[in-house]
Amino acid sequence: MKILIKWKIILTSALLLGPGFLKTSEAQQKFEKSVFYNVMASGDLDAINKEITIVQDAQTNNKEGYEGALLMKKAGLLAKPKQRLKFFKDGRIKLETALLADDENTEFHFLRLAIEEHAPKIVKYHSNIENDKLFIQKNFKNLSPVVQHAILDYCKNSKVLQPDNF
């Protein structure tokens, strides 16, 4: 009888606390640049949506720039043109606002270049490619190893940036 009561208490506790534990583990996911760049490279819509949530909840400075890049990447994966345009515009505003707030942020110049290089001509988002390329080349050595690695990985498929630029 005592064993049965203990099991009921354990099961009830697990059921009541279970959802709370799940929310806690999701909320504890923190923004990590290496994960961010893997998600950007993946083109996986579910992963991008999860990363957007992580960035929005992050206590990271200038998170609008990261969120903007993710929104523009997401736009390229959506089927409906109206949604594509909406997410691209929203992302563009966030990334450009982050660059206006911190024009010396080489990482945001890289994110903008990566988006610009693959943006469709109709959105007219190509005017800073050459300036961003030069800025990235100039400041590459000052970046964290994670961002340097992301740039070098990007260079493998880029027509604008080449590994020998660094």
* pLDDT 10s digits, 119-132: 888 888 889 999 99
Percent of the chain with pLDDT over 70: 83
| Phi and psi torsions of 131, nearest 5° | -60, -45
Segment 54-69 shows an average pLDDT of 92
Question: Which has more pLDDT, 29 or 141?
Answer: 141
Using DSSP, state whether 29 is helix, strand or coil: coil
Average pLDDT over residues 49-76: 93
Q: pTM of the entire structure?
A: 0.80
Of the pLDDT bands very low, low, confident and very high (cuts 50, 70, 90), residue 26 is very low
With a cut of 70, say whether residue 136 has pLDDT above it. yes
Given this model, what pLDDT does residue 69 score?
97
Mean pLDDT (the chain, rounded): 85
DSSP characters over 71-120: HHHHHTT-S-HHHHHHHHHHHHHHHHHHHHH-TT-HHHHHHHHHHHHHS-
